[in-house]
Amino acid sequence: KKEEDEEEQGKEEQVAEAAPVSPEAQALLDEIEAVKQKLKRKTSEAVGWKTKCEKQAKVNKLQYLKLKKLIQEKKKSGSKAIEEKNKLLAMLVKNYKILQKKIIAHRQKARARLSASTSKGI
C-alpha cells in the first residue's frame, strides 16, 4: 500500500513538473492530497482501534471462560455438598431408627422383668 502511494505521488510530481498547473487545479490537487493524508490518519487510527478492541475481546473471553468454569465448579461442589448432607442425613435417620428399636426392646425387657418380679412376689 505504501508503494502504491509512493508511485501515485511520483506520478503526480511528474505531471506537475511536465505541465504548468492553473491555480484552481493546484487547489484541487492540494485538497486531494489533504484528503489522502486525512484518510491515511483515519485508517491508521481505525487499525489501532481494531487492535485494541481485539485485545479487549480476548480479555473478555478469557474472563468469561474463567467465570463459566468457576460457576461449574461451584455447582459441582454444591451438588457434592448436598450429596454429602443427604448421606449424612440418611445415616442419622438409620441410626435413629436402630436406637428406637433398641429402646423399645429394652423397655419390653424391663416390663417383662417387672411383671415377672411382681408376679413372683404376689
**10-29 pLDDT, tens per residue?**
655 555 555 566 888 889 99
Helices (H), the chain: 2-18, 23-121
For residues 50 and 63, is the Cβ–Cβ distance under 8 A? no
| Higher pLDDT, residue 6 or 49 | 49
What number of CA atoms fall less than 13 Å from residue 39's CA on the CB side?
8
For residues 29 and 12, is the Cβ–Cβ distance under 8 A? yes
Provide the whole-model pTM: 0.42
Provide the pLDDT for residue 106: 93
Span 50-85, pLDDT tens digits: 999 899 999 999 999 999 998 888 888 777 888 888
| Chain length of the chain | 122
For residues 42 and 50, is the Cβ–Cβ distance under 8 A? no
Q: How many CB atoms lie within 10 A of CB 73?
A: 10
Provide the pLDDT for residue 22: 86
Residue-averaged pLDDT of the chain: 83
